[in-house]
Structure 1
Amino acid sequence: MGKPLNVGIIGCGKIVEQYLANFRRLDEVSLVAVADLDPARAQAVADDYEGVRALTVEELLAADDVELVLNLTLPAAHADVALKAIAAGKHVYGEKPLAATTAEAREVLDAAKAAGVQVGCAPDTVLGTGIQTARKAIDDGLIGRPISATATMVTPGHERWHPNPDFYYQPGGGPLLDMGPYYVSALVTLLGPVVSVMGAASHTRLERTIGSGPREGETVPVTTDTHVTGVLVHASGALSTLVMSFDAVKTKSPNVEIHGERGSLAVPDPNHFDGDVQLFALGADDWQTLPVSAGYVDSGRGFGIADLAATPPGSEPRAGGQLAYHALEVMESVLASAKSGSMVQIQSTAARPEAVELTTLTAQVAEVSS
């Protein structure tokens, strides 16, 4: 606190561009080093970002000036890289999910606690004005006691645009583990932790055809379910229905709806940081767009790291490991329920992260908007 947090990135794939764009405008974060299994990709980032060194993974983990490792590797490597960073005394912030399994994720959290370092994890979209304005509306009682929610993500599949979509259609992939972190994290932020789940799943095709890039026309086998539906029972008593699909085409309804005794909220896409929040109050004639009232303004990927940098020692970051672990267990349990046909009890919990006041972070000053 009081000085920029020195960050080293491991993994310089496509997603790194979004983090780099936001790091350039965040005083709370200072990028000092990057590493990738492909040295050319790391060097390309270093060449484009003044003051950044391209290192090997081993060199980055050993670097004294790296305080936090941003882990942008593939999900299968998340736990391994995180554990190595923790062993080197570094804080860790990872892309979602926290790990490939809850067992691996628990190992990461236990190691971090023993080492006295922080763990943060995407998605930090829940810190933006979209989800936070919706949360404030709920906290202010605009819909009364929340009763239910729906969360829907429908797409015909990532192979239409992704040049290497293989991992989306293997165990550990699929729509729930890929996109579910955004939706489950948003639901927990809005409605609180989940205590039990029921799931069902299917897949409609045994292979997918790559639609772009050097492998265009090549087929990819499908070995995991690609349409998942879950019912989440929150500790508050609210019920959420989750639909995640790589099989269907499009949905016209809002991505997330929250229904209460005195009104309903249309919540923007939790894969985005902003968007309109609309309220239909009991007795109203139409939807009302609520003014932006909470969250980080004009935020993007990496704001969770800036938030972590300002988190007092001993406190859980808003986009923290406990929330990421709980979301991962919820998703893993929905898939387990789909296989067994039985309701699954959730063993973990996660407090709703502290609300974000309407805040603007710039390259010059962090100010709270009035």
Structure 2
Amino acid sequence: MEVNRERLGARLAVVLTFAAAMLSIITGVAGFGILGLDVPGVDGPLAAYVPAFVQQAAAFTGAFTGFLLLTSVFALRNGRRIGWYTAVLLLPLSAAQGLLQSSPLAYPLVVLSLLALLVVLTNRRHFETATELTTTQQAALAAIALAQLYGTVGTYALRDEFGSVDTIVDAFYFTLVTASTVGYGDMTPASQAGKLFVISVLLTGTASFAVALGALLTPAIEARFARALGRMTDTQLSLLEDHVLVLGYGDLTEPIIEELQGRCEFLVVTPDPARAQELTERDVPVLTADPSDEEPLVKAGVADARAVVVATNDDAQDALSILTARQMNPDVTIVAAAAQRRNIPKLKRAGADTVISPAALGGHLLAASALGDEGAEDVADSVLHDRSVEP
């Protein structure tokens, strides 16, 4: 019940933030008077004290804030810490913009934004997944910022070469429109020097946008395809360290996953695409590959793994997986389960440190418990201490 309550809190934070984002957009658009939502005699909370141009500015920025909140919602859905931070920053801003607007929707916007903020703040522990940018992504963002800075400063410095650039805002607007290849034509260079400068802005701006879009969106697209195919991306795999590898999938895999979840990082390697898809839908990290091949184990980070667990129903396949893992990391701890008791020595020769026969062990525990043997628990304890268990 406690787990369900915690999930409910996280989901409520996402739902309320989404509702606040949509209402912020609708309220902002309504502020321009194009939705016909104005109610005679009903204005915003502070409409009587706010100049008209401020109300219009609040409507425009409020709609923009709503779109930014939608990106926070996406990050919150994935448990991202950055989504929590941006939501905490934008929700008060959305409430403040609601106070300044003249739309009757401003009242529910203020209330909903503050309520969403309260729920997001109280559920911070659910949004702890860090967002790490690669060096390429950081360079791409820096390229965009520098290209816009170059164009804005240069345009403002050469404003005499343009007919209608008077302020730094005009310069930034011209740079952004030019770099994005929109080119409205309301601002154009009037000299040869100005034209040469605009060419440089166009080349650096479009190049930075192209590189940034590729660097920032490609990992997201890869992650979406990987999720659909039931596998992890190379970027996700490269972040694994001091984790547990579960090679193959068998009857014992689910209990193993339940024990590992919340205690350490782990990765399941299975050749079954259907099983991998099922695990992915449950947010269980999985790699669709043959666990007895070297290449998948390299991707799975066997060299940095803290332990390897092999527990399928096929002792022959498990022996190959153990042998491969042992060859690639002689120091890693390997724990295996033998489907048949007679295969315990074989799995140990393949390289397993600890081999357990679940069927034989379970039979002994059941019989001992039925006979009232007080030593039944000692058999279970031996699993944690013996190098191999063969009842």
- TM-score, length of structure 2 as denominator length: 0.30
Q: Which has the larger radius of gyration?
A: 2
**Higher RCO, 1 vs 2 (CA within 8 Å, ≥6 residues apart):** 1
